[in-house]
Amino acid sequence: MCGIAGWVDWEGDLTRQKDVLENMVATLACRGPDAAGVWISRYAALAHCRLIVVDPAGGGQPMIRKRGKNRYIITYNGELYNTSELRRELEARGYRYQGHSDTEVLLTAFMEWGKDCVLRLNGIFAFAIWNEEEQSLFMARDRLGVKPLFYTRRGSAFIFGSELKALLAHPAVPPEVDAEGLAEIFALSPGRTPGHGIFRGVRELRPGHCLVYNRRGTHIFRYWALESHPHLDDLETTAHKVGHLLQDAVRRQLVADVPVCTLLSGGLDSSAITAFAAAAFRQDSTKPLRTFSVDYMDNDLYFRPNQFEPDTDARWTERVAHFLGSRHRTVLIDTATTLRPYASLRSWMHRP
């Protein structure tokens, strides 16, 4: 998880407002505690805070690549699961890479295919790319909206960030809630209307959508939508296909330059994911997969079985961990530890 922020303003000189950009990205430090960076030109400013997973040395952001006299600058939050395939294709087209991060591959994919690059991406993402020659900002969000991205127009300025608090750190975005925002809070909360940003004039880039901002204005388009089709496969074919897709998804998400683990509850979902991950570890690593589970202090004393939950997770997590041979650890949490984060909850949400 990382954080991105920035803005474009045709009437100001943003090189004089570095402190504003740094304040915006500072609000996102919990999303990216490992590193932070900013890039500023007269009309555009991008910022990034980073949680390092892949390529610690070569994946710093904002990242800049040149082609001829043009420069492309990216700030990106997410993970691509088809980085190696995209990289091979782009290398065949003449691109050369300085590191092995997915950030660099994503940036060159945009340089090669423009806005159509999103059609080739397998992953979760929210990113912004400034095209210096065209003086345009391109933003995109993954198909299911795993990674957040908010934006607003304020006069000649277009301001964006991973979270609402990044926008509110900009002096042009006061924390004003209008009638629509109040309806979101009192009628729908904790849910939210897709695309609505609670505060006056703030919008959310919807899942499966892209946005281009330039001197002609803001242009939004949808690049993906979920489609329903009749299911024609028999049971055996369906089971094989679902198994293959799940196995492929798990293996692709194990790519990292930092330790990898799974959270194991003993239920069907986490056990299946852990089983595929453990199998990949046995094939590719000399060390067993690490698994973690969470339990509450004295849960064995106070737990009462019911039809939905006939027994505690502990029995099943231990059984699955033993069967798969994982290096397992159960983390016990007491009541005080459980309640402690609630004191900071409002500041994390940065919304009423």
For residue 182, the SS3 value is helix
Burial 269-299 (b: 16+ CB within 10 A, else e): ebbbbbbbbbebbeeeeeeebbbbbebeeee
Q: Which one-letter DSSP state was computed for residue 115? A: G
Strand partners, 291: 262, 328
Q: Is 210 a catalytic residue?
A: no
List, in sequence order, the alpha helices (H) in 130-194.
Answer: 164-168, 179-183
Q: How far apart are CA 205 and CA 160, in angstroms?
A: 10
Of the residues 2, 49, 117, 210, only one is catalytic, namely 2
Q: How far apart are CA 179 and CA 323, in angstroms?
A: 55
Q: Which are the contacts of 76, defined by CB distance < 8 A and separation ≥ 6?
A: 2, 4, 48, 61, 63, 103, 106, 107, 125, 126, 127, 128
Among 9, 10, 6, 11, CA closest to 22: 6
CA separation, residue 74 to residues 28, 118, 173 (Å): 17, 14, 23
Among 215, 194, 200, 130, CA closest to 164: 200
Q: How far apart are CA 338 and CA 346, in angstroms?
A: 16
Strand partners, 152: 159, 202
Catalytic residue numbers read 2
